[in-house]
Structure 1
Amino acid sequence: MAAPPTTQLPAFLNQTRAQLHAKFVDLEWQQRNRLLQGTQSPTSPSDPPSPWSRLTGDAISARNRYLNVEPYAHNRVKLKVAGAANDYINASPIVLGKRRYIATQGPKDTNVNHFYRMLAQECSGPGPAVVVMLTQTHEAGREKCFQYYPLSAEESPLVVPDEDEDEDENEGHVAGDHFHGEVELQSVEVDGSSRSEVRSMRLRTRTSTEGGMTGNETLKREKEIRHLLFSGWPDVLIPEGEDRQALIQLVHLSNTLNQAPSTNGHASATNHDSQSNPRIIHCSAGVGRSGTFIALDYLLSLLYAGELDHLAEDGMDPIAETVDLLRQQRMMMVQGEAQFNFLYEVLRERWEARVGGGSQV
């Protein structure tokens, strides 16, 4: 068991606003340099491509919601499709310590097949797939995310279209396996503590194989989904008032739902090691709110495990380091300075509550 933390705030939580501004500016310059390096060609054919390069072409840009937000080519989720089919989805696997996530954009109307193909592929472990949606479908009169899930029983089941039957000339080669299915809404409830809508859904998918020993075959699969919709977070900004405490509760709820099944039936919301699947986190672009949520989840897990206690006074700053690690895996994560400062504010509040004997949540 970790020793109790000191009552004095550690140095990284006792910085001035000017010091935090300087750190954010430094992170922004590092990001600009990476993006610039990603546009430069290797000096010789034998040189490897830059780790910050991105994919190009109409078949790629057609699947992006925003032209300036893309995964790095070396760190992206690749859809498992046949042959020369387009395996692209705007999604990045994120690893922080032993925690795994997928940060992705809010699906477009043409991305529903890709989103559920990714979910079925990447969340194949025991337990449900957990999806955290941090945007409304429309904000300020603009679509931020297509409604890719059934809102009510009247809209259930939602059809996952067969991409192979609706080929777009900009999409490139189709997948060839006729992946399609439906999403059935089992229940929906409002969780008061996290101020979120929690949907239990079942994904049923079908794919076709050709040329097997018995000819053409159809493979059917099912996956449980827990979909958490949090609408109290304006784009680019931060949650305020009661929405701030609700967001912390949402972090814990998403982690609890994602725990691997235990032999004793119990799961801890602060356990590092018992995750079942990567959590799929998205807002609209999948970088600002999504990056802040992922950073907060990871940093709170360190705080509650005692791993931030008694840090040496040597300038170590786990928050800035976490944001840098995130940005090395997906561009623009924790997009705005307000979101960067928000991480320090929440960690400071949780630290003081913990040393004062308050609730971790």
Structure 2
Amino acid sequence: MEEALVTMATVEDDEGIVISAKTKKKSAPDAAFEKFALATVAKKIEGLRAEFATLKTFVPTVNSQAAFDRNKDCNRYANVICYDHTRVILKFNVPPDRDYIHANYVRTSLCNLPNNYICTQGPMDSTVNDFWRLVWQEKPKAIVMLCKVIEGGRQKCFQYFPLNEGETKQYGKVTVQNVRKTSPSTEKVFEAIQIKVSVKDNPAFVLTLFKWLDWPDFGVPTSGMGMLRILRQIRDHPRSTAIIHCSAGVGRSGTIVACEICLKILLEGKDLNVLDVIKEIRAQRAGAVQTEGQYIYLHRTLCEYINAKKIAKEKIAEFFESYLTYASTCKAE
């Protein structure tokens, strides 16, 4: 991060005598943080709602979905498409297995991301083997599970890994072992599980599976701390891949990737336009940041990060209060 610069400012006292005083110039990141925070506060919740509504007319210039259409039985939701140009093409055990999985690489030209991201739908019982072929192929350091298996009485994701410590399960040609839980029992935000992945006659590798615990079944979280802490865990392994999923792999998944891109833009001292970030992600992963509630929660999380740096604290506090009121009535998943 750029160091704060100290300059000599000259002012006149009451008698017209020029005196010098040391003033501290904000670093480029801090200036970017403050500018974004103040702009967010000025927009208020209603302004952010109106801003999100403009995304309805956004259509990517490249939007072929031929593989999605050919593999309807592999798609959890018929209305959540998977673009051809960014889809992850499976190579392991192909043939006889197919090369399709509802997953897309998500990259950015707006900043230098320290990690690689893949967004995918929550595995189904019929696609769980494909999910582990994806994991074996991409060798991620992290899998982030942003939904529960059951939410609101409906299945959102198949139970795709062994639950018990020391337990091993076979998914096609991929062997998956739950090695141990690595998060302390006092951890309320996420659960971290060390997973060993292996294929016969090949070296095994180990990853961490993060289960986000405090996203409510309906609505959005009241705090951004969970998202920020999970992203920090991913950043601990720079230049590695993280596979992110929720149920459809676009709403919560798109929100956490958008948050990381937004933070990196600000940390590079650049002006942040959140709409531009989401449009870039949606051009790769259709429908990313799916709901108004997720869009506003993204701003809440970014402001929480800025607030922790003691920047624009009083103004941000006003936004936090209005967000809590909004979150109490929000039904976005």
Q: CA, structure 1 residues 151+8, in 2 after alignment: closer, same or farther (shift >3 Å)?
A: closer
Q: Which residue of 2 aligns with 1:114?
A: 130
CA distance in 2, matches of 1:9, 1:19: 16
Which runs of structure 2 are paired with 1:163-174 in the superposition (5 Å)?
none
2:239 to 253, 275, 284: 275
- The code of the aligned residue for 1:282 comes to H
Query: How does 1:1-361 map onto structure 2 within 5 Å?
Result: 1-2=1-2, 3=4, 4=27, 5-6=30-31, 8-10=34-36, 12-13=39-40, 14-30=42-58, 33-34=59-60, 51-55=62-66, 60-80=71-91, 81-82=93-94, 86-96=98-108, 97-99=111-113, 100-123=116-139, 129-153=141-165, 156-161=167-172, 180-191=173-184, 192=186, 195-206=189-200, 219-234=201-216, 237-241=219-223, 244-256=224-236, 259=237, 274-276=238-240, 278-303=241-266, 305-308=267-270, 311=271, 317-356=272-311
Distance 2:262 2:188 in 1: 19
Answer yes or no: is the 8 Å Cα contact 1:237–1:338 preserved in 2: yes
Scaled by the length of structure 1, the TM-score of the pair is 0.70
Distance 1:235 1:61, change over 3 A: farther
What is the TM-score with the length of structure 2 in the denominator? 0.76
Q: Distance in 2 between matches of 1:57 and 1:295?
A: 24
Q: 2:312 & 2:69 partners in 1: Cα distance?
A: 56
Query: Is the contact made by 2:196 and 2:204 (CA closer than 8 Å) also made in structure 1?
Result: yes
Residue identity matched to 2:84: A
TM-aligned CA distance change 1:84 to 1:185, over 3 Å: closer
Distance 1:24 1:149, change over 3 A: same
Unaligned runs of 5+ in 1: 35-49, 162-179, 207-218, 260-273, 312-316
- Greater shift, 244-253 or 98-107, is seen at 244-253
The whole-number CA distance in structure 1 between the counterparts of 2:303 and 2:207 is: 33
Distance 1:79 1:239 in 2: 34
Which structure has greater helix proportion?
A: 2
Q: CA RMSD in A?
A: 2.5
CA shift, 1:120, in A, is 1.3
- Identical amino acids, percent of aligned pairs: 30
Displacement of 1:23 in angstroms is 2.1
| SS at 1:103 equivalent | strand
The offset of 1:250, in angstroms, is 1.7
Give me the whole-angstrom Cα distance separating, in 2, the residues matched to 1:142 and 1:354: 40
SS at match of 1:24: helix
Post-superposition shift, 1:58? Answer: 7.3
CA distance in 1, matches of 2:131, 2:68: 20
AA in 2 matched with 1:341: I
CA distance in 2, matches of 1:225, 1:78: 21
Q: CA deviation at 1:56?
A: 5.5
The aligned amino acid for 1:114 is: D
- What amino acid is the match of 2:229? Q
- What is the identity, as a one-letter code, of the residue corresponding to 2:155? E
The CA deviation string for residues 70-113 of structure 1, in whole angstroms up to 9 with x for no partner, is 21011100000545852100000001243320000000112121
* Contact 2:225 2:301 (C-alpha < 8 Å) held by counterparts: no
Q: Can you list the C-alpha shifts for 1:39-94, whole angstroms capped at 9, x where unaligned?
A: xxxxxxxxxxx720212577501111111112101110000054585210000000
The structure with the larger Rg is 2
| Residues 184 and 27 (structure 1), Cα distance of their counterparts in 2 relative to 1, 3 Å cut | same
Matched positions, count: 279
CA distance in 1, matches of 2:95, 2:164: 38
